[in-house]
Structure 1
Amino acid sequence: MTPPLVAVAHGSRDPRSAATVHALLDVVRAKRPDLDVRAAFLDLSAPRVGDVLSAVHGDGHDTAVVVPLLLGRAFHARVDVPAAVAEAHRRSPRFQVHVSDVLGPDPRLDAAAWRRLLDAGADPRDPELGVLVAAAGSSHAPANQLVADVAERWRAATAWSGAVATFAAAAEPTVPAAIEELRARGARRIAVASWFLAPGLLPDRITAQARDHAEDPLIAEPMADDDNLADLVLARHAEALADAQAHLPAAL
């Protein structure tokens, strides 16, 4: 039996966030109806990671795969997820929990965000369009650099006057500063691409600031239940299982 996939999201007080995670996992289940897929959250939403892992073990599984629904390797990936898995192992030492890599970087993330941006009306051929690639922001610089790399790839592949990363918190440039940078490059129209999995406080902050500092900006929806994202979740599950198999001790 294939070990269950426990998808771990950050969690939010905004009910739209958990609803979006569940919608994504519905797409994952539709692609793999044979796979036991469960949602879990690190904070602010239920069920919590430990409770879900306990339930998986209680249902008779001796192995599970945690797939962090995180876009980069910032604090939650480096600290919170390992801590939750370690606690589950402490409570049930014979229960094996493998943890996959986070979702990013990966071309399927780029594709999901790109599709949402095009859906919002952004034209890759428009030389007067400036695009913000908006993300949460992190004190971990490599996580922010991943977003800046996306913006640079898009700028190089389009006729836009510019594309720059912007962050809701903990990193720069802010939305007003990023808009000014794009205007200095010749942008007369502004679009906001969403480097967010789900709606919530931080995406709403980005949207409000963009509307305060630009006239009628195009606002893309979060990646949410995009097909590319569902494929990526399944790929991370498969990669974690393959890695675990590769590291099994050789038979005596």
Structure 2
Amino acid sequence: MAAQPSPGPPLIAVAHGSRDPRAAATVEELLAGVRRARPGLDARAAYLDHAAPSPASALAGLDEAVVLPLLLTAAYHSKVDLPAALRAASARRPGLRVRLGAPLGPHPLLIAALERRLAEAGVDIGDPGTAVVLVSAGSSDRRANAVIAQVAEAWARLRPWWSVTPAYASAAAPTPEEEVRRLLGAGAPRVVVAPYLLAPGHFSDKVRQAALAAGAHRVAGVLGAAPELVTIVLQRYGEALEAAPAAVGGEAPAAVTA
């Protein structure tokens, strides 16, 4: 019988972290999907804040790993926080070698996942009478916010929606409620909200409540463990494997660009 191919080095999927237990449960559900799709792969969760384990703890006992940020844009957490956490891990285990992958987004499959969640909420996909508000958490990094605007523009070109426009739950304008009200005032027959968020928690609850209060027709669920995200995680893992591993001592590991 032919030998089975190696599943590859362990995958450490690093999420932002939340005090809300629904967030960690969602990450674990996503990784369970990854393990089903890639039998034998050692896929572990880690968190930058508010939850355990930390990246250093998740890497304990390993000589090599692929570290993937479970983040939807390249912003402060992926550019600063995660490399710093990996440098801290090297202090515990000299010689540890990692391949640092790209954030999950942007990626074309994320639009498919967003549409999946809208359909689950009862939205007719591509309806010309429906305006979509794409809501991200928001960032102090203007480039990260600009990526959300670009995703909205790409989605608007893909489908005959009334419009697709961005909004931000924090740190940038417009807020979801501001954008919902603007669109209704501009004559949009219906306005729906698509959260560009990985897991439920403070931001998702805030977005839902504010958007509905402003008159939104539907608010979709978060991306969560959608099958499209499983595919993206494995693609980012494969891309990272193609890069040379880097020691995490004095400099941040090289990242695979999206």
Residues paired across the two proteins, number: 240
Find the counterpart in structure 1 of residue 252 from structure 2: none
- Counterparts of 2:158 and 2:10, CA distance in 1: 39
Unpaired runs of at least 5, structure 1: 247-252
One-letter code of the match for 2:202?
L
Q: Deviations over 1:185-241 (max 9, x none)?
A: 4212121111001101001111111111105x2111111111110111111111111
What is the CA distance between 1:102 and its match in structure 2? 0.8
Q: TM-score, normalised by structure 1?
A: 0.90
1:43 aligns with 2:44: no
Find the counterpart in structure 2 of residue 128 from structure 1: 129
One-letter code of the match for 1:103?
L
Deviates more, 1:175-184 or 1:102-111: 175-184
1:101 aligns with 2:91: no
What is the CA distance between 1:184 and its match in structure 2? 4.0
- Counterparts of 1:14 and 1:70, CA distance in 2: 17
Find the counterpart in structure 2 of residue 229 from structure 1: 229
Query: What is the RMSD computed on CA atoms of the aligned residues?
Result: 1.6
1:30 aligns with 2:36: yes
Question: 1:176-187 counterparts in 2 under 5 A?
Answer: 176-187=177-188
Judging by fraction of residues, say which structure has more helix.
1
Find the counterpart in structure 1 of residue 172 from structure 2: 171
Asked if 2 retains the 8 angstrom alpha-carbon contact of 1:161 and 1:186, the reply is: no
Identity of aligned residues (%): 45
Asked if 2 retains the 8 angstrom alpha-carbon contact of 1:4 and 1:37, the reply is: yes
Superposed structure 1 runs of 4+ greater than 6 Å apart: none
Report SS of the residue matched to 1:243: coil
Q: Deviations over 1:124-178 (max 9, x none)?
A: 3433211111110001111111211222222233332222111110011112221
Q: Deviations over 1:100-125 (max 9, x none)?
A: 11111111222211211122122234
Report SS of the residue matched to 1:187: coil
- Counterparts of 1:132 and 1:79, CA distance in 2: 29
Unpaired runs of at least 5, structure 2: 1-5, 247-258
Q: Deviations over 1:5-46 (max 9, x none)?
A: 000001001110000000000000000112111111111011
Asked if 1 retains the 8 angstrom alpha-carbon contact of 2:131 and 2:188, the reply is: yes
One-letter code of the match for 2:130?
L
